[in-house]
Chain A
Amino acid sequence: SQELEQSPQSLIVQEGKNLTINCTSSKTLYGLYWYKQKYGEGLIFLMMLQKGGEEKSHEKITAKLDEKKQQSSLHITASQPSHAGIYLCGADILSGTSYGKLTFGQGTILTVHP
C-alpha cells in the first residue's frame, strides 16, 4: 500500500466548480508539499505546509494540514481549464531529517471541461 494515499485518483469537473483533493498518511508528516505536473513534464511547486492546523492560499488554491499532521487537503475554488493537470502531494514521513527525500502520493488527475 502507498505510504501517502491521494484521493480521488482522477477528477472531472465543469469549469467554475469547486473541488477538493485529499492526501492521507498513517504516519506524521514532517513537511507536506503540493505540486502540479503537466503530463511528461516537471513538477511545479504550489504550497508547503509544516505546522498542524496550517492553511495557505494562493490565488484560487487553498491547502490545509490537519492538527495531527496526518492529512492534507487541496481545495480549488471556481476551477478553470488552466487548473487541469496532475496534482501530487509529497512529504517527509520518516523523521523530519530526510532532506530532499520526499515520499509522493500517486497523484490526482484533474480534468476541467470548459
Chain B
Amino acid sequence: KAGVTQTPRYLIKTRGQQVTLSCSPISGHRSVSWYQQTPGQGLQFLFEYFSETQRNKGNFPGRFSGRQFSNSRSEMNVSTLELGDSALYLCASSPVRRLDEKLFFGSGTQLSVL
C-alpha cells in the first residue's frame, strides 16, 4: 500500500497570499488529521476530519481551514499568510476513529512565507 502522500513537498509564498495543501491518506483510511510543526512551538494539532466532517479542531485562527472529500483525500487552506505560518505541515491518517489506532504520517509540506 502507498503511504500518506502530501503535495507539494515545498512551497514558497509571500505575506498576504493564500495556500492550499493536499493530503492523500492510505487507501481505506477514513480519518485525516493535520499538524503544524515549528521550531518554537513544536507539533501542534490543527484539525481532524472523518467522513467529510470536521470532528476536532485545535487552537488556530480562522485563517486555517480544511476539508475532506468523499474519497477521504483532504486539503487545508491558509489565507492571508503571515511570516509565522512558515512551518512543516504534516498530515496523518488512520483507518477509523479509535484510540488504539496509530496515526500514519506523511512526509509533510514545508511552507516558507517571505
The answer to whether A binds B is: yes
Which A residues fall within an 8 A CB radius of B? 2, 30-31, 33, 35, 40-45, 48, 50, 88, 90, 92, 96-107
B99 near A99 (CB under 8 angstroms)?
yes
Option from A41, A90, A96 in Cβ contact (under 8 Å) with B107: A41
Option from B4, B31, B45 in Cβ contact (under 8 Å) with A42: B4
A100 near B102 (CB under 8 angstroms)?
no
A99 near B55 (CB under 8 angstroms)?
yes
A99 near B105 (CB under 8 angstroms)?
no
Which B residues fall within an 8 A CB radius of A? 4, 31-33, 35, 42-45, 48, 50, 55-56, 58, 88, 90, 92, 94, 97-108, 110
| Also in contact, A96 and B99, with CB within 8 A (given A40-B110, A101-B33, A101-B48) | yes
A33 to B107: give the CA distance in the assembly, Å. 18
> Distance in Å from the Cβ of B96 to the closest Cβ of chain A?
8
A99 near B90 (CB under 8 angstroms)?
no
B45 near A101 (CB under 8 angstroms)?
yes
